[in-house]
Amino acid sequence: MKLKYILPFLFLSIAFTSVAQENPFQTKNSQIEMAGKFKLDEFLSSLSFKLVGSDGKFGIEISLSEEGDHKSCLYKVTRLTSPQQTKSVRGVIYARMMKALPCNYQVKDKKLQSILNDTRLINIRYQLEPDNTISGNIEFQGLQHRKDSTF
Amino acid sequence: MFHLLLTILISTKVFAQVASTEQLGTLNTIQNGFATVAECQNEQTEGVNCAGTALDESLKDILNLATTNQCVASNEDLQNTGIDIPNCPEASDSLKGLDHSYPSGGIFSVYTGNNDGFIEDLLTEYLADNPGGRFNLVLPRERQSYLQNNPNLSRLLNNESVNIIQVETMPAVDRWMQDSFEFTSLDGKPAIYQLEHYREERSSFEDRLACQIAKSCNLPYFIPPDMVDPYNSDINSLNSGGNLETMPGGTLYRGIVKSNGFSNYNMPEDTRAPYQTDYQRIQRESLEAAGNKVLDLDTSFLSVGHVDEIINIVKTNRPAPCDYAVILASPEKAFELMEATAARTAPTPEELEQELTQPTKKRISSSFSLIENRPQRDIDCSEVGYYSLAVEGISNRLSPERVEEIYNLHCMDEQSIHSFVESDEYQILKNENLEGYNPGDPSISDVMQENRDALVAELARTTECSNPPIVEAPVFFRGGVSYAPDLVNGVVHPNAQNTSSIIMPRTYFQPFDQYMEKELSSLGVGSSFVHSVGYHILDGQVHCGTNSARICK
């Protein structure tokens, strides 16, 4: 599922601000906001991700809503790139679960709960669409499971 | 790097305006399926160093020694430095490849305005043992002011061995010099062979990087058969230059998707392996029609999908026919070295008893805080993570003292090697690289073993060497890309000892870098490292960011 977003180049612009006034990697000076909705395999629950952060520190918030109850967990972003410069022509967001704040989802579907609580790494690959939306792939890597989905 | 020996029958010239599109260019000649493009021909007499484009006035003061029209060294220039020039492969009207044992007459790279450390390192290491070679810098006019503000780099580039190729804007392919074209050899001299690239789709040929280099360097420029139709476009990373190489013996090798069980990086959705693009199918047909063997290897687990990420070839000091070595990405070697280093650098029991743990709160939003506990005794690697290192190398190369300081921290990106090896992340990556995701799925290691077996079998057939040395490069993967800078993806050039020297990405993890130096040295192969972390975080490495014009006689 494709959603609109604001081009997330702030991280790279922070990284390369020492280059010049005219930052070749900066296209918009705006707050980072990037999100997507997806489902994992046969599970009915709709999941979403959202990039949060500022000042060079970012997290990916994975959330699901179940019977009016919103559950989420935060993962620390370790790599964030835009499609404009990468060799693969796809942007990347890699994240890992924080040891001090492990995820502890309590959801109705226990199989889904097991997968979510097992997840330690999130890999997102995205590309730009002509209408300024993004589409891509999100991968959940855990000690016991690996799942992926498109968004 | 894929070098073709292209011999076109000149006995009957056919000049016909076979196809013309307003968008792409005027195709003048099509022979053996290859075309030339009017807009990419230099008007100067062929074979004569053209006047080139004079340097902008603003650069003449700082680059008065650099040239603008001497892109490739002559055979004589290289021979005068002690480098032997091999004979060109037997040529008739067929296509042949030049592997990495052929001399580099010129290396090409792009100045981006924030890769100064990389360019400094690359220039220094390339000319150190290839002083006859030419260092070509593609310099976009829109980035010139950054160079002018860097006196160290300007001073280094003000050198008679440096050739400046000025272009108006950053190329559409950005810093990825390897991907949109290959150097060929025509009558023993370099020529340029345009390849399809996603970022140049529907661009006129005149605007493409390869065409601009061809005109500036007065080199012949050709379009391959599959690109003659301007609407034939796969838009797939598998079609790029880093995914077509030559091995000793002349067989061409490339990557396709052979295995299921990995993320679907370069296959269309709802497609099952084996898979290759239409471009690759036509490419194989035209290469085989010219009498070549094409070996398809498996790059299923790679996001970019290029063979130059996992295989390289260097010339050694061993006697023929086994006078070369194959460098292969080896996750096993990577995990072995990391675990050995973690054991060696683990905190002692006494240190652990004194350990105090304090949570460090970093508020990042109104709802959440990023909280991470780090034992005080653990090494602080936050300042030497890859993003920090990329920023550090923007304007200058890192000093040897700084490199040594980083090595002594024993960090893997932002984590101490001890913490990393103890982490769930490490275990997951070890499973992915060595065991496979699910029962029955291949692991990355399984795929690399298949690739190794196929390569060795082909080399035995074509070079009569049944047991070439294999250098297992410590490289492991996450999400389809190498976790640390990829030691396989170096650029190779011969040296005065007539073995190879390879310029590799520095991983900043000393056990990896030292291991490669030692292994290569035992084979008589020279090695050096450059700061290419800015390329690494963008999914590429040294070889990806360069192109080399190889020569023969």
The reply to whether residue A123 touches residue B414, judged by beta carbons under 8 angstroms, is no
How many Cα neighbours within 13 Å face the side chain of A47? 27
Residue B148 contacts A where some CB pair is shorter than 8 Å: no
How far is B377 from chain A, CA to nearest CA, in Å?
17
Q: Give the pLDDT of residue B288.
A: 83
Spatial distance between the Cα atoms of B182 and B288, rounded to a whole number of angstroms: 18
Among A residues 118-137, those touching chain B with beta carbons less than 8 Å apart: 120-121, 123, 125, 137
Range B217-232 burial, b when 16+ CB lie within 10 A, else e: bbbbbbbbbbbeebee
User: What letter represents residue B255's amino acid?
Assistant: G
Strands A57-66 and A47-54: antiparallel
Q: How many helices (H) and strands (E) does chain B have?
A: 17, 27
If one compares A147 and A5, the residue with the highest pLDDT of the two is A147
Q: Residue B55 in contact with residue B66, Cβ under 8 Å?
A: yes
pLDDT at B54: 82
**Residues within 8 A of B (CB atoms), A 30-49 only:** none
pLDDT reported for residue B69: 87
- Looking at residue B87, its pLDDT comes to 86
pLDDT values of chain B reduced to their tens digit, one per residue, 553 residues: 444 444 332 223 333 333 444 457 888 877 666 778 888 887 654 444 444 568 898 898 899 999 998 999 999 999 999 999 988 877 534 556 788 989 999 999 999 999 999 999 999 999 998 999 999 999 999 999 999 999 999 999 999 999 999 999 999 999 999 999 988 777 777 888 888 888 888 888 889 999 999 999 999 888 877 777 766 677 889 998 899 999 999 899 999 999 998 988 999 888 999 999 988 998 888 778 777 889 999 999 999 999 999 999 999 999 999 999 999 999 999 999 999 999 998 877 776 666 544 443 332 223 333 444 444 456 789 889 998 999 998 888 999 999 999 999 999 999 999 999 999 999 999 999 999 877 888 999 999 999 999 999 999 999 999 999 999 999 999 999 999 999 999 999 999 899 999 999 999 999 999 999 999 999 999 999 999 999 999 999 999 999 999 988 8
Q: Give the SS3 label for residue B502.
A: strand
Strand partners, B518: none
**H-run or E-run covering B445:** helix B444-463
Q: Please work out, in degrees rounded to the nearest 5, the angle formed at the alpha carbon of residue B209 by the alpha carbons of B208 and B212.
A: 90
What's residue B352's pLDDT? Answer: 62
For position B108, what pLDDT does the model report?
97
Chosen from B364, B369, B373 to mutate, greatest number of chain A CBs within 10 A: B364
B266/B279 Cα distance (integer angstroms): 13
Please name which of A116, A124, A120 lies closest in space to residue A150, comparing C-alpha atoms.
A124
Average pLDDT over residues A27-44: 68
Task: Please report the pLDDT score of residue B310 as a whole number.
Answer: 98
Sequence-ordered list of residues with C-beta below 8 angstroms from that of B227, at least 6 positions apart, any chain: B194, B195, B196
pLDDT value at residue B88: 85
Split at pLDDT 50, 70, 90, the class of A98 is confident
- Asked if residues B422 and B338 have their Cβ atoms less than 8 Å apart, the reply is no
Alpha carbon B417 to chain centroid distance?
27
Q: Cα separation of B249 and B230, whole Å?
A: 33
The nearest alpha carbon in chain B to A125 belongs to B479
Contact B28, B15 (CB under 8 A): yes
Facing residue for A143 by CB, picked from B264, B414, B428? B428
CA dist., res. B5 & res. B96, Å (int): 5
Q: Where is pLDDT greater, at A71 or A20?
A: A71
Amino acid identity of residue B534, one-letter, is G
Mapped onto helix, strand or coil, the DSSP state of residue B252 is strand
Q: Are B248 and B324 in contact (CB under 8 A)?
A: yes
Chain-chain contact of A25 with B114 (C-beta, under 8 angstroms): yes
CB contact under 8 A, A141 and B432: yes
Q: How far is A108 from chain B (nearest CA, A)?
A: 24
Go through chain B and tell me how many residues it has.
Answer: 553
If contacts are CB pairs under 8 Å, which of residues 74-93 in chain A contact chain B? 74, 76, 78-79, 81, 84-90, 92
Q: Which residues pair with A70 in a beta bridge?
A: A65
The alpha helices in B240-371, defined as continuous H runs, are 278-289, 331-345, 349-353
- Percent of chain A's residues with pLDDT above 90: 25
DSSP-assigned beta bridge partners for residue A3: A134
User: Which residues of chain A have a CB within 8 Å of the CB of B428?
Assistant: 120-121, 141-143
**Residue A38 confidence (pLDDT) above 60:** yes
What's the predicted TM-score (pTM) here?
A: 0.89
Sign of the dihedral defined by the CA atoms of residues B408, B114, B482, A59, in that order = positive
The predicted pLDDT at position A32 comes to: 40
In contact, B300 and B257? CB cutoff 8 Å: yes
Cβ <8 Å between A58 and B390 = no
**Measured in whole angstroms, how far is the alpha carbon of residue A49 from the centre of its chain?**
5
Q: Are B16 and B29 in contact (CB under 8 A)?
A: yes
Identity of the amino acid at B184: T
Contact between B394 and A98 using a beta-carbon 8 Å cutoff: no
Whether the Cβ atoms of residue B27 and residue B18 lie closer than 8 Å to each other = yes
CB neighbour burial string for B528-546, b if at least 16 within 10 angstroms, e if fewer? bbbbbbbbbbbbbbbbbbb
Residues 6 or more apart in contact with residue B53 via CB below 8 angstroms: B68, B166, B216
d(CA B450, CA B459): 14
C-beta atoms of B359 and A100 within 8 A: yes
Q: What is the pLDDT of residue B232?
A: 63
Q: At A102, list the tokens.
A: 């492990």
Q: Identify whether the C-beta of residue A43 lies closer than 8 Å to the C-beta of residue A148.
A: no
Mark residue B52 as left, alpha or beta (left: phi above 0; alpha: psi -120 to 50; beta: remaining): left
Residues of B in contact with A76 (CB under 8 A): 370, 372
